[in-house]
Structure 1
Amino acid sequence: MAAITTTAAGSAVAFARPAKAINVSSVSFAGSRKNNVAFTLQPVTQRFAVLRAAKKETVEKVCDIVKKQLVLPEGTDVTGASKFTDLGADSLDTVEIVMGLEEAFKISVDESSAQSIATVEDAAELIDKIVSNAK
């Protein structure tokens, strides 16, 4: 099914609906007349995001567990934004961190959720979510 639209110059343009969605990065319409209107669609950068902040005490406890699991030197700065890989953790270390979190918070983290954890904040948010769903 096609839709027909009239341009500012008075010429008709037909648009066919695609069978499935496509990702369009740029579209322009042009004609032989100088007064034709051109449209360009461009990706828009994200201007805001909805953040779920974990409880401060959860983040602090996760920071302590990460420091212990990775045997980080005294004075190493670990914050909610700290990435496990930046702290020197490999995949085995990350598994051990998750196991330490499960033990400390008395929770169970499924494998798919554990794979999405990259930062201390990710871990703290997941813990808060699991704990609140358990109530």
Structure 2
Amino acid sequence: MRSSTMLNLLIFVILTCPIATIAISCPFTTKWNVSVISGVPNNLVVHIKSGDDDLGNHTIPFVGDYSWSFCEKVGGHTLFYGYFWWGSKIQSLDLFDEAISKKCYFNVGTEHCYWFVTPKGFYVNAHPSGGGEFIKHWD
């Protein structure tokens, strides 16, 4: 009797593991990975938020990065924005919304959006190669 209970438990675990994996993966929307990469000398400080999440302050060293992942909301109304500090310079901008997603979207499953922060300003790209489309100057 004990071995049949263990067998049933094992079968249950095997059958429910794929369901748990689906729940973490974004079965109905796109999964996004967004990275902020610092190309400025000295530390870059960024505070990233959305309507649902406050990812907090992060200090990014020169050529360092901060990345996060999320499932896009159904209907495409996902917004992440950031406040940036570099020395005496300050800037805020949207890091992910519907318009930005179109600059990063390649229909390959998990999508990637890379932000490159330089002394000139902020660039977005779908590839980690640097550069990309210029979006905004520092204030």
- TM-score range for the pair, normalised by the shorter chain length: under 0.3
Q: Which structure's residues are more often helix, by fraction?
A: 1
- Normalising by structure 2, report the TM-score: 0.23
Q: Which structure's residues are more often strand, by fraction?
A: 2
Q: Which has the larger radius of gyration?
A: 1
